[in-house]
């Protein structure tokens, strides 16, 4: 559960993703997370059922292979690997973004260079990931617990001031968050739900610990369910309080939709600059937790693919003292470090680095969700098939909304990057190999 929640990074999600639903739905932004939770539950159904039958470090590579054949399983795993190779860099870029914000808000340094901060984040992520798996998972739990508790503290302050009529702009508690603005189309509501859907990305991460957990076919499905349930409650509650905190009138909605850091802005409004700095630290902590979870998943997938001879066998090397897949961690860490350095040399801002890597990872992840639900629909009994079919529709629609209408440059290039990655996976499976008949 720690791994799935850590990779979902609810603190980072609430620090960034709520702005888009606010722009699309106005005061009804929380409804995006309500619909997203339902969609994610449908997508996750197949994962829960398949992880109850198969336990593997390869996660969906083994789940889908068990349900739909080894080649399909490899492609699902390859798509997921594409996500988790870049997701640690996403988290490290977020570490740099909020690290700069903290230094600025605390009066330590304005416009600090982000590359040294990213290097510190990289060292922390991969240093902890190389330790014993219990150290890694406990660290994930501790990081995200601290972050969530502090955000809930801010939410409590906002609710108390709203209820007491002491809000800075005269905002009050109301049920306006359930009132969809007139003229909002079903497609707009679906698009807002898509933004909320992406906040749940990573819920399946617990599956990669199937060979290290006790009774994994019982506990991994429970962990996935618990992570989604926690995310649904946390996202809906926090987005509701954020919306009410900014205000449900036109000015409040505009302030929320135009905020670069909604939690920080609310902290300054309702508590003070000190709280804003503290929330920057919270986001930093969450970024480390998310990066740790992503790096751990990627390394274990490389281990599984190397063990099954899809990738070089050297990837199966593990630490004799901690059991961590050190060869896989070395590969992931090196790739992410090179990518971060390249963007730094190019002068790219850390927030852009965050969204560039995140877009590539999310597109590949959505391909995997689509394949996994196809496999689950093929494998499960007839009375259950409706759930993975609906999950397939949700995943495919979310993928479609991320590539059409065609986004602006450079985001219009990223679908081709993911397509090239998938094509490389197809090439790896194009040669006849007897060992592919068994996942």
Rounded Cα gap, residues 323 and 314, in angstroms = 15
Residue 362 contacts residue 202 (beta carbons within 8 Å):
no
* Spatial distance between the Cα atoms of 68 and 147, rounded to a whole number of angstroms: 39
Helices 262-270 and 133-163: crossing angle, nearest 10°? 50
Amino acid 437: pLDDT: 44
Cα–Cα distance between 401 and 93 in angstroms, integer? 25
E strands present in 40-192:
none
Which 8-state DSSP code applies to residue 317?
A: -
Q: CA–CA separation, 248 vs 220, rounded Å?
A: 40
Give whole-number Cα distances, 137 to 224, 294, 363, 376, in Å.
15, 12, 26, 28
3-state SS class at 258: coil
Per-residue tokens: 421: 């990655």
When divided into structural domains, the chain yields a total of 1
Here the CATH number for the domain that contains residue 405 is 1.20.1740.10
CA R_g for the chain? 21
- Confidence at residue 439, expressed as pLDDT on a 0 to 100 scale: 44
Buried/exposed 353-389: b ≥16 CB within 10 Å, e otherwise:
bbbbbbbbbbbbbbbbbbbbbbbbbebbeeeeeebbb
Domain that residue 15 falls in: 2-437
Give me the half-sphere count of Cα atoms (radius 13 Å) on the Cβ side of residue 180. 12
Please give the C-alpha separations between residue 329 and each of 38, 317, 324, in angstroms, as whole numbers.
34, 10, 8
Q: Residues 423-430: contacts with CB within 8 Å, 24+ apart?
A: 424/78, 425/74, 425/75, 425/78, 425/79, 426/75, 428/74, 428/78, 428/310, 429/71, 429/74, 429/75
Reading the chain (439 residues) residue by residue, the pLDDT tens digits are 888 888 888 888 888 788 889 999 999 999 999 999 999 999 999 889 988 888 887 788 888 888 888 889 999 999 999 999 999 999 999 999 889 888 887 788 888 999 999 999 999 999 988 887 677 677 767 877 888 888 999 999 999 999 998 888 888 898 889 888 888 888 888 888 887 888 898 898 888 888 888 888 899 999 999 999 999 999 999 999 999 999 999 999 999 998 877 888 899 899 988 888 888 888 888 888 889 889 988 998 999 899 988 899 899 998 888 778 899 999 999 999 999 999 999 999 998 999 899 999 999 999 999 999 999 998 887 778 899 999 999 999 989 988 888 888 999 999 999 999 999 999 988 755 545 444 4
Structure tokens at 70: 């080894």
Backbone phi, psi, residue 403, to 5°: -120, -10
In angstroms, the Cα distances linking 347 to 33, 200, 417, 427 are 35, 31, 21, 35
> What's the token pair of residue 345?
């040399």
Nearest to 73 by CA among 96, 50, 93, 40: 50
Residue 201: phi and psi, rounded to 5, are -55, 130
């Amino acid at each position: 559960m720690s791994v799935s929640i850590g990779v979902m990074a609810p603190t980072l999600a609430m620090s960034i993703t709520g702005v888009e639903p606010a722009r699309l739905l106005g005061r009804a932004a929380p409804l995006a997370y309500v619909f997203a939770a339902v969609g994610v539950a449908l997508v996750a159904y197949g994962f829960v059922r398949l992880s109850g039958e198969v336990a593997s470090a390869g996660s969906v590579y083994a789940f889908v292979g068990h349900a739909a054949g080894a080649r399909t399983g490899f492609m699902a795993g390859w798509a997921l690997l594409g996500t988790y190779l870049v997701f640690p860099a996403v988290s490290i870029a977020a570490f740099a973004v909020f690290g700069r914000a903290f230094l600025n808000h605390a009066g330590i340094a304005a416009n600090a260079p982000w590359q040294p901060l990213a290097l510190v984040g990289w060292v922390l992520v991969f240093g902890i990931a190389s330790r014993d798996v219990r150290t890694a998972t406990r660290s994930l739990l501790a990081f995200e617990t601290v972050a969530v508790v502090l955000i809930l503290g801010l939410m409590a302050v906002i609710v108390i001031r709203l209820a007491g009529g002491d809000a800075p702009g005269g905002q009050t508690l109301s049920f306006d968050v359930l009132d969809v603005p007139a003229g909002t189309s079903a497609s707009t509501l679906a698009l807002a739900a898509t933004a909320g859907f992406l906040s749940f990305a990573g819920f399946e991460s617990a599956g990669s610990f199937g060979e290290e957990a006790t009774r994994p076919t019982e506990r991994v499905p429970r962990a996935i369910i618990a992570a989604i349930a926690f995310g649904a409650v946390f996202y809906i509650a926090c987005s509701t309080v954020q919306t009410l905190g900014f205000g449900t009138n036109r000015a409040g909605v505009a302030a929320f939709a135009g905020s670069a850091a909604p939690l920080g802005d609310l902290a300054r409004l309702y508590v003070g600059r000190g709280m804003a700095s503290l929330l920057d630290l919270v986001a930093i902590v969450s970024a480390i937790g998310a990066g740790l979870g992503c790096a751990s998943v990627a390394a274990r997938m490389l281990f599984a693919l190397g063990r099954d001879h899809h990738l070089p066998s050297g990837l199966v090397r593990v630490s004799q003292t901690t059991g961590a897949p050190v060869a896989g961690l070395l590969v992931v860490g090196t790739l992410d470090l090179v990518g971060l350095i390249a963007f730094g040399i190019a002068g790219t801002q850390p927030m852009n680095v965050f969204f560039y890597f995140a877009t590539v990872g999310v597109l590949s992840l959505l391909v995997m969700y689509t394949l996994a639900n196809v496999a689950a629909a093929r494998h499960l009994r007839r009375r259950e098939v409706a759930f993975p079919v609906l999950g397939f529709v949700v995943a495919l629609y979310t993928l479609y909304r991320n590539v059409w209408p065609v986004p602006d440059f450079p985001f219009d290039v990223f679908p081709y990057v993911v397509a090239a990655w998938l094509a490389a996976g197809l090439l790896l499976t194009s040669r006849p190999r007897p060992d592919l008949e068994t996942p």
